[in-house]
């Protein structure tokens, strides 16, 4: 079994079942095996721990392969992240 994020082979006690695409607190029931490192990065560290340039670069890499609908979602995510990170830095 492999981590659904990084694709590393998972060991018996070195993974968790991650709720994706919807978090459990939002009613998500679908889970995927996820290594502890990726699960920690995805769910337990706040967005403020990510460098804005990294976030924008990661999303830009998806842009050329995305449909119009997917581009709208990516554009909304970038916009919301930019606003949120500005507010975090202002505090």
Task: Tell whether the model's pLDDT for residue 90 goes beyond 60.
Answer: no
Taking all residues of the chain, what is their mean pLDDT, rounded to a whole number?
83
Quick one: 1 and 36 in the same domain? yes
Quick one: 62 and 39 in the same domain? no
HSE of 20, CA atoms in CB hemisphere, 13 A: 13
Per this entry, what is the length of the chain?
A: 91
Distance CA 31, CA 81 (A): 25
Mean pLDDT computed over 29-56: 83
Quick one: 2 and 33 in the same domain? yes
- Which pLDDT belongs to residue 49? 73
- What pLDDT band is residue 86 in, cutting at 50, 70 and 90? low
Quick one: 31 and 55 in the same domain? no
Quick one: 14 and 40 in the same domain? yes
């Amino acid at each position: 079994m492999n981590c659904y994020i990084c694709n590393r082979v998972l060991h018996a006690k070195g993974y968790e079942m991650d709720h994706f695409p919807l978090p459990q607190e939002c009613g998500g029931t679908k889970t995927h095996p996820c290594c502890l490192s990726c699960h920690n990065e995805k769910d337990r560290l706040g967005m403020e721990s990510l460098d804005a340039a990294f976030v924008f670069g990661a999303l830009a890499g998806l842009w050329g392969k995305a449909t119009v609908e997917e581009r709208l979602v990516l554009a909304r995510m970038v916009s919301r992240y930019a606003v949120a990170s500005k507010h975090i830095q202002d505090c």
